[in-house]
């Protein structure tokens, strides 16, 4: 009934547009728009070399892809697709600096990791910090190496503030093992990471990324090749970073079949465990688990994107806070239902927090809360099938428990939800060819 009403409403609106513009004028506007898009697609040739800003290295993101991207004086191996070119046009107004395209026959996402004004502000801050005026771009290389201790600067950036808006990546309760955190990025000697942060180009790259956006750092620490639910990172050249296109937004799956959504829910619950427990030394806590930061590829594999805000907890520091051995239980703030509210201080002062499990249950899976920004009305697990409600009534109970309640062990309830989903996938005819079980292969 509702769908018929929606169709009728759309038809009425369309007829109203025809009456207002006239059929001939409407067809002309549609043709002109289509022609403009074709012109943009075929003739707009973005200057990738200008985007690279290689003259500012090592105050850049790295050079690992430069040989592959720069194939000659005028040849560039990155090709923007239609949406990427359209994004370049939109960038004139919106300055998002995120583009889609092709690289080595693979669909990729190309990022400059910040708005134009953010990049300009970063450059100005670097110049001013070294007592140089705002226009030191041509001297950036020599300016960066004048920093007295790049390592100390990196540590300050990782530990300078407990407010989300003031930092992007936080390492706590101390930064004593900062070299271990960045060991996948630091050069290797005889197969081991014996090199430490210093005043060198790679440390300068790490420092720059901490200033603007640490996503490439996290993609190299939590590598997709090792089973982390993130995009495959290909590398950087100057001021662009390139990763494989990991799929379409989770929002597009909101109306898929319940077994398919249940499979994605299981992956999200497994990801909460992965971020919290999989690294031998560090726990990684998502500070932005909104639905627009999750994508799904053609094979049904889920990935987290836009990894700009993380708290990283060193689980084996030399000295520990008073509450260290207690598990941190997240709280639901009743005066702000559905808000992405958390305490970095509490996360940092406990060896384990249930923050990841709580955020994923609250923001993505649960009814009502997930619709805070109208991304996933009712949550990803909305509309439980009657046969599931009848056979597994505790499933909804654990979903509600892992997404609400003060002093609740959200890890325990999230794992119980995960286990019931797995049991149902093996027992219930609703799942047919074990759609849900197949999602385990990604972890």
CATH (domain of 372): 1.10.510
Q: What is the pLDDT of residues 220-278, one digit of tens each?
A: 999 999 999 999 999 999 999 999 999 999 999 999 999 999 999 999 999 999 999 99
Q: Residue 34 domain-assigned? A: no
Which residue bears the tokens 């007592």? 131
Q: Pick from 245, 278, 311: which residue ends a domain?
A: 245
DSSP-assigned letter for residue 32: H
Q: Pick from 245, 280, 307: which residue ends a domain?
A: 245
Q: Can you tell me the distance from the alpha carbon of 26 to that of 19, in angstroms, rounded to the nearest whole number?
A: 10
Mean pLDDT for all residues in the chain: 81
Inter-CA distances, 96 with 53, 110, 119, 405, Å: 17, 11, 12, 37
**Is residue 323 domain-shared with residue 219, that is, in the same domain?**
no
- 349 contacts 323 by C-beta, under 8 angstroms: yes
In this prediction, residue 415 carries a pLDDT of: 96
- 169 contacts 212 by C-beta, under 8 angstroms: no
**Is residue 391 domain-shared with residue 418, that is, in the same domain?**
yes
Q: What is the pLDDT of residues 265-310, one digit of tens each?
A: 999 999 999 999 999 999 999 988 889 899 999 989 999 998 998 9
Q: Residue 141 domain-assigned? A: yes
Q: Can you tell me the distance from the alpha carbon of 383 to that of 400, in angstroms, rounded to the nearest whole number?
A: 14
Closest Cα to residue 321, out of 352, 358, 355? 352
**Is residue 83 domain-shared with residue 66, that is, in the same domain?**
yes
Q: Residue 321 domain-assigned? A: yes
Q: Residue 171 domain-assigned? A: no
Q: Residue 415 domain-assigned? A: yes
Q: For the CA atoms of the chain, what is the radius of gyration?
A: 24
pLDDT tier, 343 (very low <50, low <70, confident <90, very high otherwise): confident
**Is residue 306 domain-shared with residue 427, that is, in the same domain?**
yes
**Is residue 209 domain-shared with residue 285, that is, in the same domain?**
no
**Is residue 230 domain-shared with residue 277, that is, in the same domain?**
no
**Is residue 309 domain-shared with residue 391, that is, in the same domain?**
yes
Residue 318, SS3? coil
pLDDT tier, 443 (very low <50, low <70, confident <90, very high otherwise): low
Number of domains in the chain: 2
Residue 27 has pLDDT above 90, yes or no: no
**Is residue 270 domain-shared with residue 210, that is, in the same domain?**
no
**Is residue 154 domain-shared with residue 255, that is, in the same domain?**
no
DSSP-assigned letter for residue 361: I
**Is residue 292 domain-shared with residue 394, that is, in the same domain?**
yes
The structure's pTM equals 0.84
**Is residue 252 domain-shared with residue 241, that is, in the same domain?**
no
Region 27-38: what's the mean pLDDT?
Answer: 59
Q: Can you tell me the distance from the alpha carbon of 283 to that of 287, in angstroms, rounded to the nearest whole number?
A: 13
pLDDT tier, 5 (very low <50, low <70, confident <90, very high otherwise): very low
Q: Residue 286 domain-assigned? A: yes
Strand blocks (E) in 331-414: 352-353
| Ramachandran quadrant class, 379 (left: phi over 0; alpha: psi -120 to 50; beta: rest) | left
Q: Residue 32 domain-assigned? A: no
Q: Residue 29 domain-assigned? A: no
Residue 232's domain comprises 40-160+199-245
In this prediction, residue 237 carries a pLDDT of: 95
What backbone torsions phi and psi does residue 12 show, to the nearest 5 degrees? -65, -40
- 148 contacts 141 by C-beta, under 8 angstroms: no
Least confident residue range of 30-39, 91-100, 408-417 = 30-39
Inter-CA distances, 331 with 163, 292, 328, 336, 343, Å: 18, 23, 10, 11, 9
Least confident residue range of 15-19, 122-126, 166-170, 429-433 = 15-19
Q: Pick from 185, 212, 245: which residue ends a domain?
A: 245
**Is residue 324 domain-shared with residue 426, that is, in the same domain?**
yes
Residues 6 or more apart whose Cβ sits within 8 Å of residue 324? 173, 349, 350, 351
Q: What is the pLDDT of residues 75-131, one digit of tens each?
A: 667 777 655 455 554 454 444 688 888 888 899 999 999 888 889 888 888 887 777
Angle between helices 201-212 and 150-159 in degrees, nearest 10: 20
């Amino acid at each position: 009934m509702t769908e018929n009403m929606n169709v009728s409403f759309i038809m009425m609106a369309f007829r109203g547009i025809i009456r207002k513009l006239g059929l001939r004028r409407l067809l002309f506007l549609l043709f002109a728009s289509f022609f403009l898009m074709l012109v943009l697609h075929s003739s707009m040739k973005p200057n990738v070399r200008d985007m690279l800003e290689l003259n500012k290295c090592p105050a850049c993101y790295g050079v690992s892809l430069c040989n592959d991207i720069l194939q000659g004086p005028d040849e560039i191996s990155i090709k923007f697709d239609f949406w990427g070119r359209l994004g370049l046009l939109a960038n004139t107004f919106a300055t998002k600096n995120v583009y889609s395209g092709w690289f080595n026959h693979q669909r990729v996402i190309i990022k400059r990791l910040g708005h134009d004004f953010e990049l300009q502000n970063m450059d100005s801050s670097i110049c001013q910090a070294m007592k140089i005026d705002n226009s030191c771009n041509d001297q950036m290389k020599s300016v960066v190496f004048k920093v007295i201790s790049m390592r100390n600067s990196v540590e300050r950036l990782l530990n300078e503030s407990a407010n989300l808006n003031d930092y992007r990546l936080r390492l706590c309760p101390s930064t004593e093992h900062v070299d271990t955190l960045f060991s996948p990025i630091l050069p290797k000697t005889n197969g081991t990471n014996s090199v430490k942060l210093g005043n060198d180009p790679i440390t300068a790259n790490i420092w720059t990324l901490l200033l603007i956006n640490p996503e490439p750092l996290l993609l190299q620490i939590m590598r997709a090749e090792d089973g982390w639910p993130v995009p495959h990172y290909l590398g950087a050249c100057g001021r662009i970073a390139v990763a494989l296109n990991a799929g379409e937004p989770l929002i597009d799956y909101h109306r898929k079949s319940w077994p398919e959504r249940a499979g994605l829910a299981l992956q999200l619950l497994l990801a909460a465990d992965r971020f919290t427990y999989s690294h031998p030394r560090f726990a990684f806590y998502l500070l932005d688990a909104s639905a627009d930061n999750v994508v799904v590829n053609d094979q049904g594999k889920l990935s987290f994107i836009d990894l700009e805000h993380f708290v990283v907890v060193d689980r084996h520091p030399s000295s520990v806070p008073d509450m260290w051995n207690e598990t941190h239980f997240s709280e639901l703030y009743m005066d702000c239902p559905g808000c992405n509210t958390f305490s970095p201080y509490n996360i940092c002062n406990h060896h384990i927090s249930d923050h990841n499990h709580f955020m994923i249950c609250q923001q993505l899976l649960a009814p009502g809360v997930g619709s805070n920004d109208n991304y996933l009305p009712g949550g990803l697990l909305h509309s439980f099938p009657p046969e599931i409600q009848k056979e597994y009534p505790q499933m909804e109970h654990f979903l509600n428990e892992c997404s609400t309640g003060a002093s609740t062990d959200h890890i325990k309830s999230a794992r119980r939800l995960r286990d019931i989903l797995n049991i149902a996938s093996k027992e219930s005819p609703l799942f047919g060819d074990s759609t849900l079980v197949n999602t385990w292969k990604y972890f």
